[in-house]
Amino acid sequence: MTGNARIEDLAWVNSGATVGGDAVVKGNALVQSGARLSGGVVVGGDAEPAQACASGTYLMFDPGRGCDGRAGEADVNPPHPVFGDDDLAFSGGSTSKPTPTPTSGGGSTPVNLATAAKASASYTSPWESVAAINDGHDSDPRWGTWPRTGTQWAEPAWPSTQTVKSAQVRFFDDGGGVRVPASWKLQYWNGRKYTGVSGASGYGIRAGAYNTVAFEAVRTTRLRVVLRSGQASVGLTEVRAFG
C-alpha cells in the first residue's frame, strides 16, 4: 500500500500485489498476486484483477476483461452489508432495541419524507452515490467525500414545500479515510438562504446507529445536513426526515 490508496469493506489484497496512487479496492474484491493497481482505478464487487491497471472501474468477476480504462460498470450482484459493532457483539441472550423512529400524534406510523426527495451534495467520491442518502437502505450504497475534508453537505430536496420537525442521520464510517464528523448541524432553505433549525434537541455523533434530532417545525423544500470533518473525510448512509 502506497500513496493515498484505500482498501475498504471485505476486500483483500494477496501477497505479491501492490496498490498505490489513489486506487480504491472495496466490496468483496480480491486482488490477485502480481496485480499492480495505481492511478485512480476502482476495484470492487467480486472483481479479481490480476494485471497492472491505473484507470477504470471494475466491479464484476470477468477474466476476459483487461485493463480497458472504462468507467461506470455496475455490480450486478446484491451488496453484502458490513456488520456493525452491535451485530457482532454477544448479547448474552438479550435482544437489543432498534433505534426508535419518531412518531406523530395519535401513534400512527410516520412517513419518511426524505424518500420522496432528490439528493444532492457538495461533493461525492466517484465510486460512491449521493442517491444513497435517501434510498431507504442504511448500509450499502453510501455517500462519501474522500479524499476531501473540511465542511461538506448533503441534502434531500422536494418539488413542493414540506413541514419537517425531526430528522435521523446515519454516518458512514469505514474506520479509515471516512469517519464520523467532528460536528454537524441541520439547515433548511427559507426561500432566500439556508439557516439553522431552531430548538435542536442535540446532534449526536454515533457510528453504526441513527442520530435523531428534533427541532421546531419548518416549512421548506430543502433540508441540508452540514458536516465538519475531523482528520478524515465524511459520509452518510441514510438521512430520514419526518413531519
Give the tens place of pLDDT for each residue, 39-50.
888 988 878 888
Q: Which residues are registered as beta bridge partners of 189?
A: 194
Average pLDDT over residues 150-168: 97
**pLDDT at position 40, please?**
86
- Residue 189 counted as domain residue: yes
Dihedrals phi, psi of 132, to nearest 5 degrees: -65, -25
Of 69, 41, 37, nearest to 50 by C-alpha is 37
Q: What's the whole-number average pLDDT of the chain? A: 85
One domain, residues 65 and 157: no
- Residue 237 counted as domain residue: yes
- Residue 80 counted as domain residue: no
One domain, residues 119 and 41: no
- Residue 101 counted as domain residue: no
* DSSP SS3 for 133: helix
- Residue 89 counted as domain residue: no
One domain, residues 121 and 187: yes
Q: Which of the pair, 33 or 129, is modelled with greater confidence?
A: 129
Please check the confidence at residue 106 and state whether its pLDDT lies above 70: no
Q: Which of 60, 75, 90 is the last residue of a domain?
A: 75
Q: Which of 75, 101, 134 is the last residue of a domain?
A: 75
Which amino acid appears at position 115 of this protein?
A: T
- pTM of this prediction? 0.62
Which range of residues forms the domain containing residue 209? Answer: 110-242
Is it true that the peptide bond before 102 is cis, omega within 30 degrees of 0?
Answer: no
Average pLDDT over residues 209-225: 97
One domain, residues 43 and 138: no
One domain, residues 125 and 197: yes
How is residue 210 annotated by DSSP? E
- Residue 87 counted as domain residue: no
**pLDDT at position 64, please?**
76
What's the pLDDT tens digit per position in 2-39?
A: 888 888 877 878 777 889 888 898 887 878 877 888 98
Who's near 78: CB < 8 A, 6+ residues apart? none
Q: How many independent structural domains does the chain possess?
A: 2
Between CA 1 and CA 20 the distance in angstroms is 6
